[in-house]
Structures are given as C-alpha cells and as structure tokens.
C-alpha cells in the first residue's frame, strides 16, 4: 500500500505537470491571438478574404499638411524637421530587419504650396529620407509632366467613371487599393490592370504603419500582394502608407520588401462622403496647384473628382502639362522588376 509520502510526491509532480501544461496552452493562445489580430490567418493570404470594410479606419485619410488649408496658402515650412507625434521611438525587433533598427518616430507626410506653380515645399530632410529608401513624392521638376494617383479605400460608385475618363484621354494612373477593396471589387481591379494602369498597395486594413511591429507590417503589405498576385499574376511595386504616416523603419522595411513608397505633391480633403463641393471646386483647386512633376493624390470616392477629371486633364494640357505614366516614377533599381502587359 502506498505510504503517505509517496502519495504526496505524486501529487506534487502532477501539480507541476498541470502548471506546465496550462502555461504552454496560454503561450500558444497568446501567439494565436496575435496572429489572428494581425492577419486573420495565413491560409487566407494574410486575411484579405476575411477583411471587411468595417475593419478600416478611413475617417482621416491624410493626417499631415495638405497643399492648401481652406484656401489659405501655407508658404512657411517649419525650420526644423520635428513631427509633433512620436510612437515607440525605440527599436522594434520582432523580426524583419537585422542589426540596428532605424528610428520608428512617427512622421506625417505633408507639403506646403508655393505660389506661381513652384515646387511645393516638404519638411526639411523628408525628401532626402524618402530618397534614401527608394521613396518618391515628385517627378522631374524640369518637365511639364503631372501624374495621377487615386486612393481606393472603398468603392463609392465612381471608379468606373474615372476609368472611362482616363480611357477617353489615353491617360494612365495608379490606383491604391486595400484588402476589402480587392476582395469585393475584383472586376474593377481587373479593369484597372487590363487598361494599363498600375494597382498599388494601400495595405490590407489601412493601419498607421509605424504603430505595427515588423511582422505585422510585413503581413499588412505582403498579405495584400499575395492575394493580388494570386488573382492577376503580378506583384505590386508602389506602396502608399495609410494616412501618409511613416517612419524611417517603415520606409526601410518596405523598401527591403521590394516597394517604392509613393507620396504626393498635391492633395486636398476630398475623402469625406458628406462634403461634396462640386466639380468646379475640384477643378479649381487642382488647377491652381499644378507644377512640374506634380504627383496628384485624388480620392476615388469623391463625386467631385470623378465629374471634374476630364476637365482637369484637358485643363492641365491646355496649360502645357502632359499626363505622365506613373511607371516613370519608379526608382531605376525597380524598373523592369515586373512586366505590365496589357491583355
């Protein structure tokens, strides 16, 4: 018959085993929840097909300065490059980059308009930082060429009209899409590609990239790219960081992933569904902000933009500008990485 001490020792061992099992289950659940919140599931190509438009925070599409602020020229730029928000300036080392990590200080892309069709001014040091990591915000300022880019967080019924106008004017553009957009509007995306436009990466869920760890950031970008490549046999080359928020770390990491971050030299608050001001307003604000090498950011959810686009293209041409092919904005080391055939 087992004595008292033997029973006691067995109970102690069983208790230790039980605690270890519970700890392992807790760690496994933590890893599962982190992966689940990050990307839904890898078997779903990063969660693209599980994503919903309701998951996206699109209330503010651009958090930095715009070309104009309610009709008032912003001619003065700060004397030093010092964004007013900082998130986790320390290194984030959960994978992706090796060695010393670049700064993760949150930066907000913004530009200040200068009169007489001069090149807008960006925060001191910002263009150099973009260039260091293959980013672009402006074309050749020696040429009277402008570039059209459209952000497509969700579909508001105007993209087919925009595509019709581009076709009528033989103009090319970049359309930056999210995960739910690819999931719900594959025929529109197919049309973009087949008509010779570029489809750019706006991430799956539209998060602020500096707020993500490396593995989460990679999945937001590469998860969307995998789903696009599966459907259309091509990889994306341009990335537009949601809200225009970035850090040196996000630029470095996405550049290593093969992307060129494409910012802009003109934008206005055109993403509000309840703030329509008419096609004439859209036309006027674009016309007075034209400049050599301009990269125009227009939101395709805007009825004003859709109705004004034909006049914008023709008005720019009357002023001596041509509509450039966005592929010309790719850094030389990325040109030719992908064939853009027209079916």
The DSSP code sequence of 206-235 is ---GGGS-HHHHHHHHHHHHHHHHHHHS--
Whether 305 is in a domain gets the answer yes
CA distance 62 to 59: 9
Same domain, 21 and 91: no
For the chain, the distance separating the N- and C-terminal CA atoms, rounded to the nearest angstrom, is 83
Same domain, 282 and 145: yes
The CA R_g of the chain, rounded to the nearest whole Å, is 24
Structure tokens at 212: 């993500």
Whether 63 is in a domain gets the answer yes
Residue 328, pLDDT score: 97
Contact 268, 285 (CB under 8 A): yes
Q: Percent helix, strand and coil across the chain, each rounded to 5?
A: 40, 15, 45
Structure tokens at 273: 């569904």
The burial of 16, by beta-carbon neighbours within 10 Å (0-12 exposed, 13-18 middle, 19 or more buried), is given as exposed
Nearest to 248 by CA among 130, 134, 138: 130
Domains: count for the chain: 2
Same domain, 76 and 160: yes
What domain range includes position 161? 44-329
Whether 339 is in a domain gets the answer no
Same domain, 32 and 132: no
Whether 271 is in a domain gets the answer yes
Please list the active-site residues: 151, 299
Per-residue pLDDT of the chain (343 residues; tens, 9 = 90+): 556 555 556 666 566 665 554 554 544 444 434 433 443 334 465 689 889 998 888 888 999 988 775 433 333 333 333 333 333 344 444 444 445 779 999 999 989 888 888 999 999 999 999 999 999 999 999 999 999 999 999 999 999 999 999 999 999 999 999 999 999 999 999 999 999 999 999 999 999 999 999 999 999 999 999 999 999 999 999 999 999 999 999 999 999 999 999 999 999 999 988 889 999 999 999 999 999 999 999 999 999 999 999 999 999 999 999 999 999 999 876 654 444 343 3
Same domain, 35 and 179: no
pLDDT tens digits, one per residue of 65-117: 887 754 333 333 333 333 333 333 444 444 444 457 799 999 999 898 888 88
Same domain, 22 and 70: no
CA distance 121 to 64: 13
State the maximum Cα–Cα separation within the chain, in Å, rounded to a whole number: 103
Whether 251 is in a domain gets the answer yes
Same domain, 70 and 134: yes
Same domain, 194 and 257: yes
Same domain, 139 and 275: yes
Contact 291, 303 (CB under 8 A): no
Contact 130, 138 (CB under 8 A): no
CA distance 283 to 298: 11
CA distance 26 to 47: 24
Whether 336 is in a domain gets the answer no
Same domain, 149 and 19: no
Q: Which helix (H) or strand (E) holds 109?
A: none
Q: How far is CA 265 from CA 119, 129, 142, 336, in A?
A: 8, 16, 15, 25
Residue 249, pLDDT score: 98
Contact 262, 239 (CB under 8 A): yes
Give CA torsion, residues 307, 308, 311, 317, to 10 deg. -130
Same domain, 84 and 19: no
Task: Residue 148: give its domain's CATH number.
Answer: 3.20.20.370
Whether 334 is in a domain gets the answer no
Residue 51: what are its φ and ψ, rounded to 5°?
-75, 150
Same domain, 97 and 143: yes
Whether 337 is in a domain gets the answer no
């Amino acid at each position: 018959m087992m004595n008292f001490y033997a029973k006691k020792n067995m109970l102690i061992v069983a208790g230790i085993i039980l605690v270890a099992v519970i700890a392992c289950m807790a760690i496994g659940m933590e890893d599962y929840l982190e992966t689940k919140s990050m990307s839904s599931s890898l078997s779903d190509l990063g969660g693209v097909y599980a994503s919903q438009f309701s998951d996206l925070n699109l209330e503010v599409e651009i958090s930095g300065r715009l070309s104009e602020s309610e009709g008032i020229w912003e001619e003065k730029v700060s004397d030093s490059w010092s964004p007013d928000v900082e998130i986790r300036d320390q290194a984030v080392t959960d994978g992706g980059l090796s060695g010393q990590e670049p700064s993760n200080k949150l930066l907000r892309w913004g530009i200040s308009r200068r009169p007489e069709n001069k090149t807008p001014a960006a925060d001191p040091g910002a263009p150099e930082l973009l260039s260091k990591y293959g980013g672009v915000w402006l074309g050749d300022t020696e040429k009277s060429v402008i570039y059209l880019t459209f952000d497509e967080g969700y579909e508001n019924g105007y993209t087919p009209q925009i595509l019709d106008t581009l076709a009528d004017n033989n103009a090319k553009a970049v359309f930056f899409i999210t995960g739910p957009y690819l999931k719900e509007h594959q025929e529109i995306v197919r049309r973009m590609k087949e008509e010779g436009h570029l489809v750019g990466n706006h991430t799956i869920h539209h998060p602020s990239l500096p707020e993500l760890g490396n593995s989460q950031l990679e999945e937001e970008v590469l998860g969307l790219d995998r789903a696009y490549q599966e459907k259309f046999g091509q990889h994306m080359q341009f990335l537009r960081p949601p809200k225009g928020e970035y850090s040196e770390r996000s630029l470095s990491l996405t550049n290593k992933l093969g992307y060129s971050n494409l910012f802009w030299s003109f934008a206005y608050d055109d993403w509000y569904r309840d703030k329509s001001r008419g096609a004439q307003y859209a036309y006027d604000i674009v016309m007075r902000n034209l400049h050599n090498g301009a990269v125009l950011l227009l939101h395709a959810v805007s009825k004003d933009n859709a109705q004004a686009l034909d006049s914008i293209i023709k008005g720019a041409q009357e002023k001596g500008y041509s509509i450039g092919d966005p592929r010309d904005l790719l850094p030389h080391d990325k040109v030719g990485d992908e064939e853009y055939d027209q079916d």
